[in-house]
Amino acid sequence: MGTKEINLIEVDDLTKDYGHGRGVFDVTFNVKEGEVFGFLGPNGAGKSTTIRHIMGFSKPQKGQTRILGMESFGNYFRFLGDVGYLPGEIVLPEGLTGWEFLQMMGDLRNLHDNTRLKMLLERFKLNPKGETKRMSLGDKRKLAIVAAFMNDPKVLILDEPTSGLDPVMQQVFIDYIKEEKKRGKTILLSSHMFNEVEATCDRIAIIKDGRIVSMFDANSIKHNENKNFFIKFKKKDEFDKFLKLLPVSKKRKIKVSKPYINKIDKNSKSLIAYCNDKDINQLVPLLSDYQIETFSENKVTLQDYFMQFYREDKNFGGVF
Ligand SMILES: Nc1ncnc2c1ncn2[C@@H]1O[C@H](COP(=O)(O)OP(=O)(O)OP(=O)(O)O)[C@@H](O)[C@H]1O
Ligand SMILES: [Mg+2]
């Protein structure tokens, strides 16, 4: 009955404290074979730090990371052939042409067949003839993409892969990821781009200040019928009375079905109430006893949900 689920990437309680609250703390998640896992978070949240540990470049202070069942640290050359890594910052060795760099990366992985390399160059429209140091930002990124994928690795670890690519190339990249997903690849993708995460990922974790603050199935966003209702009251006493009817939540939860109040603005006698469509009859009839000035609804998208972590809006409890 069914195949056993295997975790190809495992992060258990990973902690690296750089001091002054910087670093990553008790980060735990797994990426299953064939899964595309999105890793989202604002600048400095800890995405690259986590990924560097997964790649074995850095030793955890606490906890462990494993890749293909092997402890990451100390085993880089054992898993190198099966893992394509695209770093967040591309640093290419100086004094090489693009071709020479690709040759070097191919040799490192004992690559003899150039079919895939040619396909990738064509697809990403890259001519690697010139010297790497004279390449544009986008070409450097493309060169790193080709180098990471040319041996058709089983696991792809991509740290903000589309930064520096123009919109057309971003789309080419997203399409490529979708195909790789269909071919059964296991992918970890860190990103700031909602569209690429929404288009490709099965599961998403949000990291902030070094800690995972939210983890959910991408389907819960795609099919979500959760809404935020903006309600502005005419009368202060009615506004105050209404506030007592629903619970007020500041918690960021993933699944809450009952309506509750997200945000209150006493000055303008307005609030934002969260509600799932199926529970709408628990919210709207309540309003019939009140004089309402404005009433509007907004679907909660991944972008809305994610933006609250950027804005540091402590009162907003966006929820799926
Ligand atoms: N080697 C290091 N020494 C000290 N602090 C570090 C080191 N590497 C990262 N940090 C700090 O750890 C935190 C997490 O950084 P990290 O690069 O992992 O963030 P990120 O989520 O990848 O951000 P971005 O979206 O900007 O790429 C930051 O505060 C950063 O300054
Ligand atoms: Mg980073």
CATH number at residue 93: 3.40.50.300
Domain termination site, one of 156, 189, 218: 218
Domain termination site, one of 165, 185, 218: 218
Q: What's the pLDDT at 318?
A: 42
Query: Rounded to whole angstroms, how far apart are CA atoms 183 and 175?
Result: 13
How far away, in angstroms, is 40 Cα from ligand 1 center? Answer: 14
Q: Do residues 109 and 234 share a domain?
A: no
Q: Do residues 228 and 166 share a domain?
A: no
> Nearest-CA neighbor of 53 among 106, 109, 13?
13
Q: What's the pLDDT at 70?
A: 96
> Nearest-CA neighbor of 260 among 250, 248, 277, 242?
248
Q: Do residues 145 and 237 share a domain?
A: no
Q: Whose CA is nearest to atom 5 of ligand 1?
A: 18
Q: What's the pLDDT at 316?
A: 42
Q: Do residues 279 and 137 share a domain?
A: no
In order of 139, 179, 263, the CA distances from 304 in angstroms are 32, 28, 14
Q: Do residues 228 and 199 share a domain?
A: no
Residues in Cβ contact with 179 at an 8 Å cutoff, skipping those fewer than 6 apart: none
How far away, in angstroms, is 27 Cα from ligand 1 center? Answer: 14
Q: Which residues of the chain have a pLDDT value below 70? A: 1-3, 221-224, 250-257, 308, 311-320
Range of the domain at 117: 7-218
CATH number at residue 253: 3.30.70.920
Q: What's the pLDDT at 311?
A: 66
Q: What's the pLDDT at 27?
A: 97
Q: What's the pLDDT at 319?
A: 40
Tally the domains of the chain. 2
Q: What's the pLDDT at 224?
A: 66
Query: Rounded to whole angstroms, how far apart are CA atoms 258 and 282?
Result: 8
Pocket test for ligand 1, best of 24, 49, 193, 197 (most atoms within 8 A of CB): 49
* Cβ of 87 less than 6 Å from ligand 1: no
Q: What's the pLDDT at 217?
A: 87
